[in-house]
Amino acid sequence: MGSNNLRQLNIDNINPHVREAKYAVPGELAVRSEEYRALLAAGSTKLPFKQVISANIGNPQQLDQKPLTFFRQVLSILENPALLEKSDVLVNQLDYKPDVLERAKRLLAAVGSVGAYSASNGAPAIRQSIADFLERRDGFPADQANIYLSAGASSGVNTLLHVICANDKSGILVPIPQYPLYTASLSVLNAACVPYLLDEHRNWGTSLETIKAAREKAKAEGINVRAIVIINPGNPTGASLPEEDIRAVIEYASQERLVILADEVYQTNVFVGEFISFKRMLRQMQQEQPGKFDQVELASLHSVSKGMVGECGHRGGYFELVGFDPEVQAEIYKFVSIMLCAPVIGQCLVELMVNPPREGEPSYELYTKEYNAIFNGLRERATALHKAFEQMEGVECGAPQGSMYLFPTIKLPPRACEAAAAEGRTPDEFYCMRLLEATGVCVVPGSGFGQKEGTLHFRTTFLAPGTEWVGSIVKFHNDFMNQYR
Ligand SMILES: Cc1ncc(COP(=O)(O)O)c(C=O)c1O
């Protein structure tokens, strides 16, 4: 007790903005789920389930997803270049294909050692490889000088928000529901989050009217709205924005001089429709109406964490800037250099992601087989989960679109809402807590992402293997509804 009083830090004197930040993904439910996991590992038989299913977080390799062989073979050599001295063993006994060795040599030549710092914005050869990828993807040129490697997309978002938010009157338009990185980072920065609702009835698309109204309201409150965040494909919604929504956002951003932050980390997790990058759309619009969109400032982010790569533990990502003032860009460079550089092994993974084995190359067949199996597995599990939701009373969920999540609406009986209030919880938190206690399945309440007033949701990933856990959700739901009806 006594020694506690001698501490400099207590909960009332640390940075209040850190305290205020809310981040529900690894929140109370996740902590409880870890406690259950520990109990099960210690042999407890007191719980009504045999395993904990972490459907709360898009963490593919924590669940079923295996790393892509080509990627890990290359990384193994990057971490231990001495393996190259035994290339006969690699090729003849461990089935490393010659293109694995070539790529590893090329990356080692580019970075020296993965144990060394790189240039602050990332190794030049890796930035060039990303620029080449962007050019292939979008059909428009990309300049490696505008690319910044980051420790996952999160670190890129952190950099950009730090630079954009000048003071507590700086506001950022953030979609609701959203991945809470944005609201939490804005809280920490003591800047203003300007929420705009996505339209659930239009497949979670953007509504320009809603965006305009949100901006006008913020402006009237003295907020200087400087940027708009778009998550495409969406988290937690999974939806890919149609071309007209992207065009409308670019038009509006151009007119109102808003920086566009396009979070495109789920660009390959698309089951329905197609992914259209903001960069491609912007360049197309610039071509169609020369001069009109030249001043648009766009930052697009990507990551090795999602897609079929799922290497989120390696912390690799990048952002590309378009249309930024060179002096601002120099400050961004300075900001990233304060952290020295993104993890170099993560940078190498980014290179592998944007430049995977091509047709005709020795590793292509296995890479494609593994990649497609992951893609199809995700789609199958999403469909099975969606089918289960369709059977559940008071649950509505659009067909799976992509990303790694489903975000069903739930309608709970008034008695359940009263019981939630008695526990000091929102009804969706209460529902998710009871679900965890009964089944071991951990999901995130919709309130963790923001949701339209008067609606309730939860977000679940469809990464976990097997179908037993899906059945347990259906059973829990029936019991819950019967208990509180
Ligand atoms: C929309 C979105 N952006 C960014 C991130 C962070 O990704 P990273 O692991 O690249 O930092 C996530 C992670 O779930 C996400 O869903």
**Distance from the CA of 304 to the center of ligand 1, in angstroms?**
9
- The C-alpha torsion from 363 through 310 and 274 to 321, rounded to 10°, is -100
Give yes or no for a contact between 188 and 17, defined as CB atoms under 8 angstroms apart.
yes
Pocket test for ligand 1, best of 25, 230, 265 (most atoms within 8 A of CB): 265
Pocket test for ligand 1, best of 54, 62, 157, 181 (most atoms within 8 A of CB): 181
Name the pTM for this structure: 0.92
**Distance from the CA of 466 to the center of ligand 1, in angstroms?**
25
pLDDT of residue 137: 97
Query: What is the CB neighbour count within 10 angstroms for residue 35?
Result: 11
- What is the rounded CA–CA span in Å between residue 254 and residue 411? 39
Residues within 6 Å of ligand 1 by CB: 58, 152-154, 179, 181, 231, 235, 263, 265, 303, 305, 312, 317
pLDDT of residue 240: 87
- The C-alpha torsion from 400 through 401 and 404 to 409, rounded to 10°, is -50
**Distance from the CA of 214 to the center of ligand 1, in angstroms?**
24
pLDDT of residue 202: 84
pLDDT of residue 1: 47
pLDDT of residue 69: 98
Residue whose CA is closest, atom 15 of ligand 1?
179
pLDDT of residue 24: 62
Which residue intervals of 83-123 are DSSP H helices? 87-92, 98-111
Question: Residue 447's Cα: distance from chain center in Å?
Answer: 18
- Contacts of residues 76-79 at CB distance under 8 Å and 24 or more positions apart, as own/partner, are 77/101, 77/104, 77/108, 78/104, 78/107, 78/108, 78/111, 78/114, 78/345, 78/348, 79/114, 79/345
Give yes or no for a contact between 279 and 140, defined as CB atoms under 8 angstroms apart.
yes
Q: Could you report the per-residue pLDDT of 308-366, keeping only the tens digit for each?
A: 999 999 999 999 999 999 999 999 999 999 999 999 999 999 999 999 999 999 999 99
Pocket test for ligand 1, best of 63, 231, 235, 240 (most atoms within 8 A of CB): 235
Pocket test for ligand 1, best of 154, 160, 161, 463 (most atoms within 8 A of CB): 154
- Flag residues of the chain having pLDDT under 50: 1
Amino acid at 421: A
**Distance from the CA of 179 to the center of ligand 1, in angstroms?**
8
Q: Which tokens is 427 given?
A: 């009804």
Strand partners, 444: 459
